[in-house]
Amino acid sequence: MIVRARTVVTMDGPPIENGAAAVSGNRIVDVGRFDDIKTRNAGNTLDLGEQVLLPGLINAHCHLDYTCLRGKIPPQKSFTEWIRAINADKATLAPKDYIASINEGFAEAKRFGTTTIANLTVFPELIPQIQPPIRMCWFAELMDIRAPERANELVDSAIESLGRARPELVLSKAEGGAPWGLAPHALFTASKDLFRRCGEIAQREHILLTTHLAESREEMEMFRDASGPLYEFIKSIGRPMDDCGSKTPLELFLDLIGSGGSPNRPRAIEVNRSYPSWIVAHLNELTERDFELLERSNSKFHVVHCPRSHNYFGHSPFAFDRLRSLGFNVCLGTDSLASNESLSLFAEMRAFQKEFPSVSPEEIFQMVTVNPACALRQEKELGKICRGAHADLLAVCSTGGDLFEEIIAFRGEPWIMIAGQVQ
Ligand SMILES: [Zn+2]
C-alpha cells in the first residue's frame, strides 16, 4: 500500500511535500516524493489529501494501571498525601479492574495518536492476559519496601511474567535483548538490593530499566535532610533510613548505578550501546552539586518529563535548558491519570510549550518521536518514517501554516495506522 499526504514529516530528514510512504506487511519499505514512490512500488494508493503524515507518537512514561483513577484524586497539599490517597484508592481495586483500566488506557492513547507506550505496571502477572492494540514496552514496577528480603524473588517472578507477554505488538528485540524492562519504583520504595538485582539482570539480558528519581521536594528533603512528610511516612512503614541525612536522590542513584548507564547524547548511542540503559522519570529536584556531578559523571541516562503531571503536583521547575545543554535525551510522558487528565501527547506537547515557549515546536515533536525511540533503543524501528521502520503512522489536518506549530496545536482524533493496519 502507498500512503500519500500533502506533507510527510519523516523525522529522518526534511519534511517531504507531496510525499508518500510505501507499506508492505507491518513495515515501511520506502518513503519519498509521491511520484518516485509510485514508480518504485506497486500497490494501491491511499490518498490522505491535505493532511500531514507523521510517525506514531511514543509515550515515554505511563502507568495504565491507573487510567480508572482519572479525576478521583484532587491535588493534595503534599506529595506524601497523594501517595496516601492513591494507596487508599488502589486498595479498592481488584485484578479485573486493573485489566479494564489498562484496556481503557490503550483505547484512549490510540485515539490520540500514540502507537507505543513505555508502561510501568505493578501487576506484571496480568500481562499474559492482556492483548495490547498498540506497541508496548512493558516495565514491571517493583517495590520491596515491605519485604526487602524478597528482592531477588520479586525480580525473578516479574521476569517470568514479562516473558509471557503476548508478542504481536511488542517492540523488536534490540541487540538480542528482550523488548521489555524492569522498573524499581523509586529510591524510597525499592531497596539497594532491588536496584542492583535489576541492574544485573539488565546487563545480562540486555533489557531496559526505568525509575522515578528526584521527583518531589519531599523526596529531596527525605534523603538530604532526613526530615519532612515523606521521610516520616516511609519511616513509619519500617524502611531502614540510614541512607538519609547526607546525599541527594541523584547522588544516591549515581552511587547505585556506578559508571554504568547509557550515554546521554543520542548521537553517541551508535558507538556506545552499553547496558544497563536507564530511563529516568522526572528529575525535578537537582542541587547545584547535582549539576556538577552530572557534568562530570560517566553515568548517563535518558530523562522523561511529564509536563501536566508536573503541574498537577506543583513540582519545582524542570531544568530543561540545563539538562539539554548537558546533552541529555529528554522525552515526554503522560504519567498516570491519577495525576493527569488524559493520555494525549498532543496536550503534553502543548503544556511543555507553555512552560518553555522558546523551544522550537520541531524540538518538542522530537520528544515524542525520535527521542523516546532512542531511549527504548528502537531508533531504527520507531519514531521516524524510514525504510525498515514499523508502519506505525498517523495523519493530522493542516492548513499549510507553520508545520510543527500546527502539529502541536492539533486537537481531535488523527488518522492512524499501527503495524501496517489502518485503525
Ligand atoms: Zn510515574
**pLDDT digits (tens), the chain, 423 positions:** 999 999 999 999 999 999 999 999 999 999 999 999 999 999 999 999 999 999 999 999 999 999 999 999 999 999 999 999 999 999 999 999 999 999 999 999 999 999 999 999 999 999 888 989 999 999 999 999 988 888 999 999 999 888 877 655 655 554 445 578 999 999 999 999 999 999 888 888 888 999 999 999 999 999 999 999 999 999 999 999 999 999 999 999 998 887 555 444 444 433 335 566 899 999 999 999 999 998 887 767 899 999 999 999 999 999 999 999 988 999 999 999 999 999 999 999 999 999 999 999 999 999 999 999 999 888 889 999 999 999 999 999 988 889 999 999 999 999 999 999 999
Calculate how far, in angstroms, residue 219's C-alpha sits from the geometric centre of ligand 1: 14
Calculate how far, in angstroms, residue 83's C-alpha sits from the geometric centre of ligand 1: 12
Computed over its alpha carbons, how large is the radius of gyration of the chain? 21
Calculate how far, in angstroms, residue 121's C-alpha sits from the geometric centre of ligand 1: 10
Look up cell 511474567; give the residue.
161
Question: 265, 327 in Cβ contact below 8 A?
Answer: yes
Calculate how far, in angstroms, residue 280's C-alpha sits from the geometric centre of ligand 1: 10
Q: Cα dihedral angle (128, 133, 137, 142), rounded to 10 degrees?
A: -50
Calculate how far, in angstroms, residue 69's C-alpha sits from the geometric centre of ligand 1: 14
C-alpha angle 333-9-44 in degrees, rounded to nearest 5: 115
Calculate how far, in angstroms, residue 136's C-alpha sits from the geometric centre of ligand 1: 16
Calculate how far, in angstroms, residue 380's C-alpha sits from the geometric centre of ligand 1: 26
Question: 54, 9 in Cβ contact below 8 A?
Answer: yes
Closest-CA residue to 340 (of 32, 61, 29, 53)? 61
Pair type for strands 16-24 and 27-33: antiparallel
Quote the longest CA-to-CA distance of the chain.
69
Calculate how far, in angstroms, residue 338's C-alpha sits from the geometric centre of ligand 1: 10
Calculate how far, in angstroms, residue 275's C-alpha sits from the geometric centre of ligand 1: 22
Dihedral sign from CA coordinates of 328, 330, 275, 140: positive
Per-residue cell: 33: 516524493
How far is CA 136 from each of CA 29, 116, 180, 230, 307, rounded to the nearest angstrom? 22, 6, 8, 32, 22
Distance separating alpha carbons of residues 58 and 382, to the nearest angstrom: 8
At 308, give phi and psi (nearest 5°): -75, -35
Look up cell 532491588; give the residue.
194
Closest-CA residue to 212 (of 241, 234, 183)? 183
Calculate how far, in angstroms, residue 40's C-alpha sits from the geometric centre of ligand 1: 45
What residue type is assigned to position 279 of the chain? I
Look up cell 531511549; give the residue.
375
Distance separating alpha carbons of residues 246 and 256, to the nearest angstrom: 15
Calculate how far, in angstroms, residue 27's C-alpha sits from the geometric centre of ligand 1: 31
At 390, give phi and psi (nearest 5°): -60, 140
Calculate how far, in angstroms, residue 183's C-alpha sits from the geometric centre of ligand 1: 10
Strands (E), 269-389: 277-282, 302-305, 330-332
Calculate how far, in angstroms, residue 212's C-alpha sits from the geometric centre of ligand 1: 6
Per-residue cell: 214: 528526584
Closest-CA residue to 344 (of 281, 404, 414)? 414
Calculate how far, in angstroms, residue 80's C-alpha sits from the geometric centre of ligand 1: 14
pTM: 0.95
Distance separating alpha carbons of residues 364 and 355, to the nearest angstrom: 11
At 149, give phi and psi (nearest 5°): -70, -15
Calculate how far, in angstroms, residue 63's C-alpha sits from the geometric centre of ligand 1: 6
- The SS3 of residue 391 is coil
Calculate how far, in angstroms, residue 337's C-alpha sits from the geometric centre of ligand 1: 10
Calculate how far, in angstroms, residue 333's C-alpha sits from the geometric centre of ligand 1: 9
